[in-house]
Structure 1
């Protein structure tokens, strides 16, 4: 059997580099893909040096392919060559559809780092039947935003049969956005029709933004939040948690920090200084409920590691029994997957 090939779309971005380095550290074959051939070739040289230094074998571990979003033939070549594609190039409102659609058509397994609910909704609505037909397993938002909360919600609510409300709270400090993240944030902030889930139904339309308080565990404590925060778990969590309402919230102070929107040129070391808590509160209809959280540093690394773990499992035949578009918690057993990420140093898990 041929060794699996892991394609990384948007490889020369910050997340793409983290993903590529992690895959090479596991002695995997990597195909760097994107729109800028010169940047991809330069990165391939850097990574080949890294592989040689780490005694991971010949530079043949790293290849490149230029695949513009408006070139269907190149995207077809990309997805037909790869075992799994990890899509790292946002904003996914602009880049998601062509890459994901090409993967679904080719039967190529797919994971991405999207946060945008509309992209996540598109994948379930438009690509489900084709992915099931071609044998592709496709997992949107297998990253810090979205994926961790989806897994955590499944772990927290395991065994609960009547859930009134699931609230996801993100506490993030020291976040240094990349250029792609800034563009994504600008699109989300200006979005009028938002995806929500309330009273047991998914809706798309205008939403009133409000401030509320989320009870994070110590040492974070109660914090003022922006609600709702537009993240794709409002699409995925209701697929496997019997909740009447699902909402995500983000600490209001996150976007008040001066460096958030002015850090596109920050170093990798500076970006790694982000501190985070992701907490899930599940309230039962009859009262009471459960809580769980993950706490750590470096949201970029946590997201990259989650996507690599998912991709390696898919390539090794350790994914779900049936293909199709799936949430993180539909694709993998939630608590064991979170514990594995904890063991690899992504965060500390409390359930």
Structure 2
């Protein structure tokens, strides 16, 4: 089956393309930047296509003969829905590496269409949200009566341009949690707790991470929060964005910030990725107060994304799976996290 990496010229897309080539795969490298795509395709001796997501007719032609698309082009608020619709029309599986709640939640609205088309939609096949999705399923399996899930991670790696652009889109917006099965607002700066993610207790803050959407579909648990450590300086900045969010969300300000990111942000090199692992934590709780906790150390988020995304691509290319909208753990199982290089469970 022919498959495609869209956004292959981006930071994470290029990492995935290089690893796919090393494994002997031959994905079509695609994106909007013709110069960058052509240069990478020539270097890796892989086929390529250049197309934007603005014209449905161009999309239909570009996906002709393609059986699977892995979307690595963020921010996914701009790329996911057009590519999902194109994949539905072309009857091609759709995967992406988003961690955006709106995309993960919205994909499930296409579930019936995906089943009718005989394809799989699975957003979040990278660090956002595959490792925490496995943790959520482990906890639900260990504690079937759980009605609360708390998930989280700790890391210190640098951001790529795509991650930074996604971050600025969220500045000034409310945090998100799931309460009684519904996604609800939680103002930034509320809901703190002390958490040991695996390397010592930290003060942690709820964040609008993708598991608020995806973990619900994986486990059915109706109350979900996601945490990460927060320093006093970062908390002060977050609270300022609450006050001035209406300014930050203006299109001209967003465009200016995006331009600064393109000029100044460079993703971590191999040495930096190797030196910055990630700690994953989760806790389940029943109405009666019974709890379970798990912790893992895994590779840097970008490295994890490369291995995770390609493993799910390889699974879908090699074996049949029921069509519809799925989460990574639902496709790969709760032990998937332990099958990836660099992952160890912490006692």
Show the counterpart of 1:69: 53
CA distance in 2, matches of 1:13, 1:274: 21
Q: How is 1:119-130 mapped onto 2 (pairs within 5 angstroms)?
A: 119-125=103-109, 127-130=110-113
Structure 2: unaligned runs, 5 residues or longer: 236-260
From 117, 122, 135, give the equivalent of 1:139: 122
Q: Give the root-mean-square deviation of aligned CA atoms.
A: 2.3
CA contact (8 A) 2:337 2:343 kept: no
1:222 aligns with 2:201: yes
CA contact (8 A) 1:282 1:291 kept: yes
Show the counterpart of 2:314: 312
Show the counterpart of 1:57: none
Q: Which 4+ residue blocks in structure 1 deviate beyond 6 angstroms?
A: none
From 154, 168, 182, give the equivalent of 1:186: 168
CA distances 1:220-266 after superposition (whole Å, capped 9, x unpaired):
11111121x11121112122324231010111149849xxx896124
From 93, 103, 115, give the equivalent of 2:99: 115
CA distance in 2, matches of 1:309, 1:210: 37
1:196 aligns with 2:196: no
CA spacing shift, 1:251–1:121, aligned 2, 3 Å: same
Show the counterpart of 1:34: 31
1:246 aligns with 2:224: yes
Superposition deviation, residue 84 in structure 1:
1.4
CA distance in 2, matches of 1:254, 1:64: 46
CA distances 1:197-241 after superposition (whole Å, capped 9, x unpaired):
11x2213546453262342254x11111121x1112111212232
CA contact (8 A) 1:278 1:293 kept: yes
1:45 aligns with 2:26: no
CA distance in 2, matches of 1:290, 1:205: 26
CA contact (8 A) 2:195 2:203 kept: no
CA contact (8 A) 2:148 2:222 kept: yes
CA distance in 2, matches of 1:271, 1:6: 30
TM-score (norm: length of structure 2): 0.85
- Give the number of equivalent residue pairs: 320
Structure 1: unaligned runs, 5 residues or longer: 49-61
CA distance in 1, matches of 2:197, 2:117: 44
Show the counterpart of 1:265: 266
Select the structure that is richer in strand.
1
Task: Please state whether the residue corresponding to 1:210 is helix, strand or coil.
Answer: coil
Superposition deviation, residue 110 in structure 1:
1.4
1:340 aligns with 2:339: yes
Task: Please state whether the residue corresponding to 1:310 is helix, strand or coil.
Answer: helix
CA contact (8 A) 2:142 2:292 kept: no
CA contact (8 A) 1:162 1:242 kept: no
